[in-house]
C-alpha cells in the first residue's frame, strides 16, 4: 500500500488515496463523522458516512483528538472544506491508537502550552515555525559554502570567557576543576582563520541571561563567520547579503508557512531585496534625539526601546557601527582616528525585533586587550594562546554572529523568541 502525504494528495487533486496521520479536529453528527486529518505536510477534512459505511462510522465515532489512523478514500474538491479539498467518502479506516484526552484544547494558558511543549510541537504554528527554521539553517550553510567559507567547529567547553563573565554557565569539569559552556565560537575561529582563511559555524551557545525578555534564551543557536583580511566595511556587507539571502530562501520555500503564520509577505519581499543602510552609533543618537525626542548620552549602550526606534525609522534592517569602545568587549578595537569609537557593528531588525547580529573587526593590540581584560576582572594570562595569534603573522580580520532564533522570530513575526526553538531554555524554563 502506498501512502501519500496530504500535500502530495492535494497536488494530485482527485482519485482514491491512502493517507495516514493524526486527528486534528473531529465533529460528529447523526449521519457523518468529520475528521480533519493532520500529517507533517498539511490538514484535510475526511468524511465518514453512516449511510454508506455503518461499520466505519461506528469505528470513527470513537476517535479522539490526536488519535492515529490510516485511511483510504476519494479525494474531491470541496470549497466548504478547510483546505478546499476533502476525502469523501472514506472507504477504509484503520485506527492505530485512540488518544487519551489531549491536554491542549482551544483556550490554554501559555504556561500550560510550554509545560506540554512535547505535544504542542504538533500545532500548525510550531510546525510552520520549525519548517521556516529548517530553511533558515539550510540557507546559512548554503550562503557560506557557496562563497568559499569552510565549516569549522570549536569546543563547547571553554576555559575562558569572551562576552562578559556575568552570563557564563559554569560546569564541573571532572573531579575538582571547572569550565564554561560556549558563549561564542569566535576566539577559536580567530585561531582557525590562519589555516582556513574564511570560516563559518552554527552551533549551540549558552548565556546565563538573567532576563525575562521576549528576546533572550539561555541556550540558543548562533551562526558565526570569521575571515582573515576582512575589515569592518566589508564584513557588514557580508552580513547584509546573508540576511537578504536567508529571507529570499524562506520566500522561495515557505510560502505556505508564511500564510499559516499570517506573516506579511510584502514586508518580507521588501526585506529580501532592499538595500540596508549603515549608520554610525553617533548618527543613531541624532536620529533618536531629532525624530523621537529620546536623548541618549554618548557612551551609553542602546536599549531595546531605542534600537526599536532606529528599526522603525528605517523600516529595513540597519547596521549600526562605531559603538563607544568603553562599553564594548575587549576584542573590539578602537578606531585609529577616534579611539573612543570601536570598529564594531550590530544589525538591528525592524518591527521591534532589534539586534539580530553582533560583530566587529578584531583587535590586534595585545596591550590594549590586556588592560581591558584586567578592567573586566579577568586574568589575561589565560588568554596567552589568543595573544599568540597577534604574534605569528597577525592580519586584520573580522567576523560576526547571527542569532538564529532572533532571525526566525523576526521572519515568522513571533511574539516571543521561545517559539523559535523547539524546547526553549530560559531563566524560568528548563522543562520538558
Ligand atoms: O552580539 P553577540 O553577543 O556577539 C558575539 O557573541 C560575538 N562574539 C559574535 C562574533 O562576532 N562572532 O551575539 C551575537 C548574536 C546577537 O546579535 C543575537 O542575535 C544573538 O547572538 N544572541 C542571542 N540570541 C538569543 N538569546 C540570547 N541570550 C542571545 N545573546 C545573543
Ligand atoms: Mg551583541
Q: Which residue matches cell numbers 569539569?
A: 173
Classify domain 6-97 by CATH architecture: Beta Barrel (2.40)
CB 358, CB 349: distance < 8 Å: no
Termini Cα distance of the chain: 37
Query: What CATH number has the domain spanning 117-420?
Result: 3.30.930.10
Instruction: Report yes or no: 302 and 261 within 8 Å, Cβ to Cβ.
Output: no
At 165-174, the pLDDT tens digits run 899 999 999 9
Dist. CA 258 → ligand 2 center (Å) = 28
Q: Ligand 1 mean position to 206 CA, how many Å? A: 10
Tens digit of each residue's pLDDT (9 = 90 or more) over 8-26: 999 999 999 999 999 999 9
Name the H helices within 53-161.
54-60, 110-115, 117-120, 124-145
16, 4 Cβ separation under 8 angstroms: no
Can you tell me the distance from the alpha carbon of 57 to that of 197, in angstroms, rounded to the nearest whole number?
A: 66
Q: What percent of the chain has pLDDT over 70?
A: 100
Does ligand 1 come within 6 angstroms of the Cβ of 403? yes
**Predicted TM-score (pTM) of this structure:** 0.97
Q: What is the mean pLDDT of residues 19-47?
A: 97
- Which atom of ligand 1 is closest in space to residue 224's alpha carbon? 12
Answer yes or no: is the C-beta of 341 below 6 A from any ligand 1 atom.
no
* Ligand 1 touching residue 424 (CB < 6 A): no
Q: Is 184 in the pocket of ligand 1 (CB under 6 A)?
A: yes
Mutate to test the pocket of ligand 1, among 358, 360, 400, 404 (most ligand atoms within 8 A of CB): 358
Q: Tell which atom from ligand 1 comes closest to the C-alpha of 346.
A: 17
CA of 345 to the centre of ligand 2 (A): 9
Which residues neighbour 133 within 8 Å (Cβ) at sequence distance 6 or greater? 404, 408, 420, 421
**399 within ligand 1 shell (Cβ under 6 A):** yes
Mean per-residue pLDDT of the chain: 97
The band of 343, judged by pLDDT with boundaries at 50, 70 and 90, is very high
Q: Predicted confidence band at 285 (pLDDT cuts at 50, 70, 90)? A: very high
For atom 17 of ligand 1, which residue has the closest CA?
357
Domain residue ranges in the chain: 6-97, 117-420
Going by pLDDT thresholds of 50, 70 and 90, the confidence category of residue 179 is very high
pLDDT tens digits along 210-262 = 988 999 999 999 999 999 999 999 999 999 999 999 999 999 999 999 999 99
Q: Which atom of ligand 1 is nearest to the CA of 217?
A: 26
Residue 319 Cβ inside 6 Å of ligand 1? The answer reads: no
- The closest-lying atom of ligand 1 relative to the alpha carbon of residue 358 is 1
Give yes or no for residue 207 CB within 6 A of ligand 1. yes
Q: pLDDT tens digit string along 135-163?
A: 999 999 999 999 999 999 999 999 999 99
Amino acid at each position: 500500500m502506498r501512502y501519500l502525504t496530504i500535500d502530495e494528495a492535494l497536488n494530485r487533486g482527485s482519485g482514491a488515496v491512502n493517507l495516514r496521520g493524526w486527528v486534528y479536529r473531529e465533529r460528529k453528527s447523526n449521519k457523518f463523522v468529520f475528521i480533519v486529518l493532520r500529517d507533517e505536510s498539511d490538514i484535510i477534512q475526511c468524511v465518514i458516512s453512516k449511510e454508506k459505511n455503518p461499520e466505519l462510522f461506528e469505528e470513527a465515532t470513537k476517535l479522539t483528538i490526536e488519535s492515529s489512523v490510516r485511511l483510504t478514500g476519494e479525494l474531491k474538491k470541496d470549497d466548504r472544506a478547510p483546505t478546499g479539498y476533502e476525502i469523501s467518502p472514506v472507504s477504509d479506516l484503520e485506527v492505530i491508537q485512540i488518544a487519551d484526552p489531549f491536554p491542549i484544547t482551544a483556550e490554554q494558558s501559555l504556561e500550560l502550552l510550554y509545560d506540554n511543549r512535547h505535544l504542542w510541537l504538533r500545532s500548525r504554528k510550531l510546525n510552520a515555525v520549525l519548517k521556516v527554521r529548517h530553511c533558515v539553517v539550510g540557507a546559512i550553510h548554503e550562503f557560506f559554502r557557496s562563497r568559499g567559507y569552510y565549516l569549522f567547529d570549536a569546543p563547547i567547553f571553554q576555559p575562558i570567557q569572551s562576552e562578559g563573565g556575568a552570563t557564563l554557565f559554569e560546569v564541573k569539569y571532572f573531579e575538582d576543576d571547572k569550565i564554561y559552556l560556549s558563549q561564542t565560537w569566535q576566539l577559536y575561529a580567530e585561531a582557525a582563520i590562519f589555516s582556513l582563511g574564511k570560516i563559518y559555524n552554527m552551533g549551540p551557545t549558552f548565556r546565563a541571561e538573567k532576563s525575562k525578555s521576549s528576546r533572550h534564551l539561555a541556550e540558543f543557536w548562533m551562526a558565526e563567520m570569521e575571515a582573515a583580511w576582512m575589515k569592518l566595511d566589508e564584513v557588514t556587507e557580508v552580513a547584509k547579503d546573508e540576511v537578504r539571502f536567508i529571507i529570499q530562501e524562506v520566500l522561495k520555500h515557505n510560502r505556505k508557512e508564511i500564510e499559516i503564520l499570517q506573516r506579511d509577505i510584502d514586508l518580507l519581499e521588501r526585506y529580501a531585496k532592499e538595500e540596508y543602510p549603515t549608520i554610525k552609533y553617533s548618527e543613531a543618537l541624532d536620529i533618536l534625539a531629532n525624530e523621537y525626542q529620546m536623548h541618549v548620552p554618548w557612551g551609553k549602550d542602546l536599549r531595546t526601546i531605542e534600537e526599536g526606534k532606529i528599526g522603525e525609522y528605517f523600516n529595513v534592517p540597519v547596521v549600526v557601527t562605531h559603538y563607544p569602545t568603553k562599553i564594548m568587549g575587549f576584542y573590539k578595537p578602537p578606531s585609529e582616528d577616534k579611539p573612543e569609537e570601536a570598529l564594531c557593528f550590530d544589525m538591528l531588525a525592524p518591527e521591534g525585533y532589534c539586534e539580530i547580529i553582533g560583530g566587529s573587526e578584531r583587535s590586534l593590540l595585545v596591550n590594549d586587550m590586556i588592560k581591558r581584560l584586567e578592567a573586566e576582572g579577568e586574568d589575561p594570562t589565560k588568554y596567552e594562546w589568543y595573544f599568540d595569534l597577534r604574534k605569528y603573522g597577525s592580519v586584520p580580520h573580522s567576523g560576526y554572529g547571527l542569532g538564529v532564533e532572533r532571525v526566525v522570530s523576526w521572519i515568522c513575526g513571533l511574539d516571543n523568541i521561545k517559539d523559535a526553538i523547539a524546547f526553549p531554555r530560559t531563566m524560568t524554563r528548563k522543562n520538558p
